[in-house]
């Protein structure tokens, strides 16, 4: 069987995923990748609170459910008594009795 070598594209890059400058710096200095770039960071505090950093916006908010848009897809939080406790340009805090945190691409 003949092996076919994958050629880089015209810009000299292979088809491997391209890392951002921030991700390269984090890797170089062995730092957590969330210190650089704009990937979302999701922190659940028990079942009563979820903090999402680096979000883009609220897509949907109704009784028992909120959908948050991020650079890596949509984060859907469901439960009872779901409220938006705090929102800034960089983070959002969702409160209530959280039953699920789902990630949609």
What's the rounded Cα separation, in Å, for the pair 47 and 98? 5
Q: What is the predicted pLDDT for the residue at 17?
A: 61
Model confidence pLDDT, tens digit, residues 86-104: 999 999 999 999 999 999 8
Decide if 74 is inside a domain. Answer: yes
Decide if 87 is inside a domain. Answer: yes
pLDDT > 60? residue 9: no
Model confidence pLDDT, tens digit, residues 26-71: 788 888 766 766 789 999 999 999 999 999 999 999 999 999 999 8
Decide if 94 is inside a domain. Answer: yes
What's the rounded Cα separation, in Å, for the pair 69 and 76? 9
3-state secondary structure 29-72: CCCCHHHCCCCCEEEEECCCEEEEECEEEEEEEECCEEEEEECC
Q: What is the predicted pLDDT for the residue at 105?
A: 63
Decide if 70 is inside a domain. Answer: yes
Range of the domain at 98: 39-102
What average pLDDT does this structure show over 11-34?
69
CATH of the domain at 93: 2.60.40.2000
Dihedral sign for Cα atoms in the order 19, 24, 30, 36:
negative
């Amino acid at each position: 069987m003949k092996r076919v070598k994958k050629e880089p594209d015209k810009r000299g890059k292979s088809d491997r995923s391209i890392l951002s400058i921030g991700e390269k710096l984090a890797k170089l200095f062995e730092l957590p990748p969330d210190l650089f770039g704009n990937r979302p960071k999701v922190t659940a505090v028990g079942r009563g609170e979820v903090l999402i950093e680096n979000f883009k916006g609220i897509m949907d908010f109704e009784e028992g459910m909120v959908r948050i848009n991020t650079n890596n897809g949509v984060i859907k939080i469901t439960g009872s008594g779901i409220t938006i406790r705090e929102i800034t340009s960089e983070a959002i805090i969702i409160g209530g009795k959280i039953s699920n945190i789902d990630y949609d691409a």
